[in-house]
Structure 1
């Protein structure tokens, strides 16, 4: 039985950071230097693995991924997304964690996934 191909996590993160923009799995395929190119399931497995480690984040509204900017993720993370240029910034918010805790107590609801995305215009696009 053939072994499933794996991608080097460090290489994938390096490619993502070099791109400096959110990337879909197919964007990543195009940017990877390996020949032959890995198949899409290999990319998705690598992204799942890196996401579980907190090293990449999925930006739901863009259906894309970004490399983590280094936060420890002890608190909730908010992503600001420019609707003009698609620039994404990761912001760690301690107050949001407190608010989520209060909300959980009031509603008796436990969130399984917490993704906070704020869409708008970045300063550069707003000034243009």
Structure 2
């Protein structure tokens, strides 16, 4: 039995919607996309997203207040995201430098709850288009 087999109906709907979209979606984007599936209230979306986030099946992109489906089940390192401000494409990558961040926090006796790294800029495709 896989992790997704244990999901409730609304959670499955949202996870599949995010996977199919291939882009970050806000809770209201999801609500609109799934209205025909019976979702009517924002609270339905937020509850399902919170469960998906806790199970590490989606990532919250803090700066966009949006969510993306997780495509990798290996969560041994902190995820970082590169976000193109032009086309809105998002790339996830591992952040091995987290150990350095944690060491700095430890020296300052700062107890970290979670780490969020989001890089904003322009992807190669959009940069080439802008230069061309």
Structure 1: 5+ residue stretches without partners: 1-5
Instruction: Look up the SS of the partner of 1:8 in the other structure.
Output: helix
- How far apart, in 2, do the equivalents of 1:11 and 1:36 lie? 10
What SS does the corresponding residue of 1:50 show, helix, strand or coil? helix
Residue of structure 1 in register with 2:128 after alignment? 127
Please tell me whether the aligned partners of residues 79 and 116 of structure 1 are also in contact (alpha carbons under 8 angstroms).
yes
Report the alpha carbon displacement of residue 33 of structure 1 after superposing the two structures with TM: 5.9
Cα offset for 1:37? 2.7
Query: Matched residues in 1 for 2:87 and 2:38: separation?
Result: 32
**TM-score, scaled to structure 1:** 0.86
Runs of 4+ residues over 4 Å off in structure 1 = none
Q: Which residue of 1 aligns with 2:27?
A: 25
For 1:78 and 1:68, locate their aligned partners in 2 and report how far apart those are by CA, in whole Å.
12
Using structure 2 for the length normalisation, give the TM-score.
0.84
**Over aligned residues, Cα RMSD in angstroms?**
1.6
Alpha-carbon distance in structure 2 between the residues aligned to 1:74 and 1:84: 30
The alignment covers a number of residue pairs equal to 122
- Which residue number in structure 2 is paired with residue 59 of structure 1? 61
Residue of structure 2 in register with 1:97 after alignment: 98
Q: Which runs of 5+ in 2 are unaligned?
A: 1-7
